[in-house]
């Protein structure tokens, strides 16, 4: 399992009274974003329950939920345990959000990403830049979108890690989860992914030069590009969807 601030945050204690729901959300998001990579073995039950500060019965219920949702697999035997599946889902199967909700997510992303860039220019070390470069290479080599997307989310989380701000890291992790739900709704043309990753590479170069102005320009261009692609490729709602939803129950045909 990769050692990083973002991965360590996955195993911090959860707070009552919604420990079950939070555990499902915490582990599910970590898997979706690639913080817990395919094939990762979770810590033993007793150890994981202690880390999360929850009872073993609550943990078992959460793990069972994630097995049933296709995120985890349980293997019996001496070499068994609970593992992240080889191809976990990238999203929860969201429906198209309203324009207002989508704008709120995208505006929040601008604030988080630009804040991360400004601090990363000042605080990023060589190991941060090397990690981001490896993720750029991983995206270049990806042959499937799920592999590209997990490296993509990990890149942006690595940017927040380089900012050395736990609160900003938590915000980046949350916003990447919301972006995954939006991105799952559109096609993923190779030319778009290639252009996006070229911007990642330019950002790493600008961060390495401690060039704040250029770094901010690159990330703003990157974010604006994503906004335009989402607007262009997001499917519309069927024109009669509202009419069907508002149709009185008494007028709906039933089957005997």
Contacts of 176 (CB under 8 A, 6+ apart): 33, 153, 156, 157
- Write out the H or E segment, with its range, that includes residue 73: strand 72-75
Summarize the confidence of residues 3-31 as an average pLDDT. 90
pLDDT band at 218 (very low <50, low <70, confident <90, very high): very high
Instruction: Measure Cα distances from 186 to 3, 29, 156, 189 in Å.
Output: 32, 20, 20, 9
Residue ranges, CATH 1.20.120.530, the chain: 99-233
pLDDT digits (tens, 9 = 90+) for 120-139: 999 999 999 999 999 999 99
Residue 29: other Cβ atoms inside 10 A: 20
More confident call, 251 vs 173: 173
Look at residue 238 and tell me whether its pLDDT is greater than 50: no
Classified as helix, coil or strand, 125 is coil
pLDDT band at 76 (very low <50, low <70, confident <90, very high): confident
Which CATH class, in words, describes the domain spanning 99-233? mainly alpha
Q: Backbone phi, then psi, for 135, in 5-degree steps?
A: -70, -35
Summarize the confidence of residues 213-242 as an average pLDDT. 85
Query: What is the rounded average pLDDT for all residues in the chain?
Result: 89
Ramachandran area for residue 72 (φ above 0: left; ψ -120 to 50: alpha; else beta) = beta
The span from the CA of 125 to the CA of 5, in Å, is: 14
pLDDT digits (tens, 9 = 90+) for 145-167: 999 999 999 999 999 999 999 99
Residue ranges, CATH 1.10.10.10, the chain: 5-84
Instruction: Give the angle subtended at the CA of 86 by the CAs of 83 and 89, to the nearest 5°.
Output: 100
Which CATH class, in words, describes the domain spanning 5-84? mainly alpha
Cβ-contact 72, 85 below 8 angstroms? yes
Q: What is the pLDDT of residue 249?
A: 39
Give CA 8 to chain center in angstroms: 16
């Amino acid at each position: 399992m990769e050692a990083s601030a973002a991965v360590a945050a996955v195993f911090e204690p959860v707070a009552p009274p919604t420990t079950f729901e939070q555990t499902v959300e915490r582990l599910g998001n970590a898997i979706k974003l690639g913080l817990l990579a395919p094939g990762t073995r979770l810590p033993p039950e007793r150890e994981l329950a202690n880390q999360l500060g929850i009872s073993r019965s609550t943990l078992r219920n959460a793990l069972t939920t994630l097995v049933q949702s296709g995120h985890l697999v349980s293997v019996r035997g001496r070499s068994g345990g609970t593992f992240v599946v080889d191809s976990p889902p990238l999203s929860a199967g969201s429906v198209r959000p309203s324009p207002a909700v989508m704008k709120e997510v995208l505006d929040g992303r601008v604030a988080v990403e630009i804040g991360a860039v400004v601090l990363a220019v000042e605080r990023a070390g060589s190991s941060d830049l090397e990690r981001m470069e490896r993720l750029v290479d991983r995206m270049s080599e990806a042959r499937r979108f799920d592999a590209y997307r997990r490296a993509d989310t990990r890149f942006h989380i690595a940017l927040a890690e380089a900012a050395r701000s736990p609160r900003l890291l938590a915000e980046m992790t949350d916003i990447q989860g919301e972006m995954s739900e939006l991105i799952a709704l559109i096609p993923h043309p190779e030319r778009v992914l290639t252009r996006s990753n070229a911007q990642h590479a330019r950002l790493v170069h600008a961060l390495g030069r401690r060039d704040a102005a250029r770094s901010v320009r690159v990330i703003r261009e990157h974010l604006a590009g994503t906004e335009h692609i989402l607007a262009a490729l997001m499917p519309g709602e069927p024109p009669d969807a509202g009419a069907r939803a508002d149709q009185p129950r008494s007028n709906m045909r039933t089957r005997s």
